[in-house]
Amino acid sequence: MAVKVKSREILQMVTAYPLGKSVFDLQKEMGLASIINLSEIENVFGCSPFVKNHLTHQLDHLFTYPDGSARLLSAKLAEFLNVKSDRLFIGNGSDEIIRLLLRAFLNAGDEAVMAEITFPRYKTNVTIEGGRPVLVPLIDGTHDLDGMLASITEKTKLIFVCNPNNPTGTIVEKKKLEDFISKVPEHILVVLDEAYYEYAVNDEYLQSVPYLKKYSNLVILRTFSKVYGLAGLRIGYGLMDPFIAEELNKVKEVFNVNQLAQAAAISALDDQEFRVECVERNEEGKQFLGNELTKMGYTFFPTHANFMMIHTGQPGDVVRNELLKNGILVKSGSALGYPDAIRVTISSMQDNHYFIKCLKNIESGNGGIS
Q: Nearest CA to 240 among 218, 224, 222?
A: 218
CA angle 191, 193, 11 (to 5 degrees): 75
Interval 128-140: pLDDT, tens: 999 999 999 999 9
What does the alpha-carbon distance between residue 14 and residue 203 come to, in Å, rounded to a whole number?
39
Give yes or no for residue 218 having a pLDDT over 60.
Answer: yes
Helices 71-81 and 259-270 pack at an angle, to 10 degrees, of 30
Tell me if residue 267 falls in helix, strand or coil: helix
Q: Is the pLDDT score of 116 beyond 70?
A: yes
User: pLDDT value at position 369?
Assistant: 43
> Which of 21-30, 46-55, 58-67, 194-203 shows the lowest per-residue confidence on average (mean pLDDT)?
21-30
> What 8-state DSSP symbol labels residue 65?
P
Beta bridge partners of 299: 311
Tell me the pLDDT tens digit for each residue of 323-354: 999 999 999 999 899 999 999 999 999 999 99
Other beta carbons within 10 angstroms of residue 240's beta carbon come to: 26
- Report which of 127, 157, 155 is spatially closest to residue 8, judged by C-alpha positions: 127
Q: Is the dihedral of CA 226, 229, 231, 234 positive or negative?
A: negative
Alpha-carbon distance values, 116 to 162, 264, 288 (Å): 11, 34, 30
- Tens of pLDDT, residues 56-84: 989 999 999 999 999 999 999 999 999 99
The pLDDT assigned to 14 comes to 86
- What values do phi and psi take at 125, rounded to 5? -70, -35
